[in-house]
């Protein structure tokens, strides 16, 4: 099921909006032609296989034990760390990702919609910056590999 | 735990030795730097992540449901099919792999040992052919990608 999402940079984060976040660490065992990702989110661990293109997109997530995750993590060639915060908007829930490590100072917000119409009529709050929905340089795999795009 | 194995070609298979075999189909989502393999063996399905080199070899196998396997299989770029037969030898158990598809007529036998000494003192039966333990062209991933090596 394809996700309908819009994605924006955040230049000035309204920190009072943010409750406690989830700590996410995700790294890549393969980037192409199939993306194979390890992800630790708080206490949960998983391996996800994602196809990148093609008519029918595939995504399968497999749970990992902490031991399996720790055994596989050294095989990762590129990774990102971020904390994820949910923010209630008037008509949607935003996911704010505050990146850490070499990407620190990068903040991105994503909003998911139920339909194309809903996505089109969405009015971003003031604190949303430049829209980057179509900018592949802000995909996690690209950030992990190439770092933060120049402003 | 590294496996201690010796591997041989089989030119003339003593078919009366073989009982019914397991049907194995394995394909690769990634070959390098990390090998990520899907395998169906009879009714079991799994995804295995294997490091190829390095001091410490890593291998993690994750069970898949038939649905997950079927969703992922189209992402495979290279695969092999074979039937595997166990054969009791005087002092060991041999695994005979009879390849199918484009590799048909290739038959390989592998014997696993508990120690280097046991491996060194193993006397191959008459029907074992050329030893290919060190010949990387006979690894499954290589066979999947490049086909049967010339005789």
pLDDT tens-digit map of B2-32: 678 999 999 988 878 887 899 999 999 998 8
Which chain A residues touch B72 with a CB distance below 8 Å? 49, 58, 60
**Which one from B7, B8, B10, B28 is the annotated catalytic residue?**
B28
Record the pTM.
Answer: 0.83
* Chain centre to alpha carbon of residue A33: 19
Establish whether this prediction's ipTM goes over 0.95: no
Would the CB atoms of A29 and B51 count as touching at under 8 Å?
Answer: no
pLDDT class for A17, splitting at 50, 70, 90? confident
Q: Which of helix, strand or coil describes residue B96?
A: strand
Which chain A residues touch B75 with a CB distance below 8 Å? 33-34, 49, 51, 58
Are the C-beta atoms of A26 and A80 separated by less than 8 Å?
A: yes
- The alpha carbon torsion through B120, B57, B65, A67 (nearest 10 deg) reads 130
How would you list the strands of the sheet with A93-99, edge to edge? A4-9, A107-113, A93-99, A78-88, A22-30, A34-41, A44-51, A59-63
Give the pair of three-digit tokens for residue B46.
């799994």
Residue to test with chain B: of A1, A31, A58, A61, most B Cβ within 10 A: A58
Over residues A106-116, mean pLDDT: 94
Distance in Å, alpha carbon of B121 to nearest chain A alpha carbon: 34
The per-residue pLDDT for B105 is: 84
pLDDT class for A54, splitting at 50, 70, 90? low
Nearest to A62 among B29, B62, B75 (CB): B62
Over residues B132-141, mean pLDDT: 93
Q: How far is CA B26 from CA A61, A100, A142, B39, in A?
A: 19, 38, 30, 4
- For residue B51, the chain A residue with the least C-alpha distance is A75
Which chain B residues touch A74 with a CB distance below 8 Å? 58
pLDDT class for A2, splitting at 50, 70, 90? low
Residue B99 bears catalytic tag? no
């Amino acid at each position: 099921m394809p996700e309908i999402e819009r994605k924006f940079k955040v230049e000035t984060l309204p920190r009072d909006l943010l409750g406690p976040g989830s700590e996410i660490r995700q790294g890549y065992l393969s980037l192409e032609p199939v993306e194979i990702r390890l992800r630790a989110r708080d206490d949960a661990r998983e391996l996800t296989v994602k196809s990148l293109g093609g008519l029918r997109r595939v995504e399968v997530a497999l749970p990992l034990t902490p031991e399996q995750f720790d055994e596989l993590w050294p095989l990762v060639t590129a990774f990102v760390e971020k904390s994820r915060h949910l923010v209630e908007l008037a008509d949607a829930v935003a996911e704010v990702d505050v990146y850490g490590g070499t990407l620190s100072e990068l903040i991105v917000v994503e909003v998911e919609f139920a339909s194309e119409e809903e996505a089109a009529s969405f009015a971003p709050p003031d604190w949303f910056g430049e829209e980057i929905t179509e900018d592949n340089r802000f995909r996690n795999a690209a950030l992990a590999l190439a770092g933060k795009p120049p402003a």
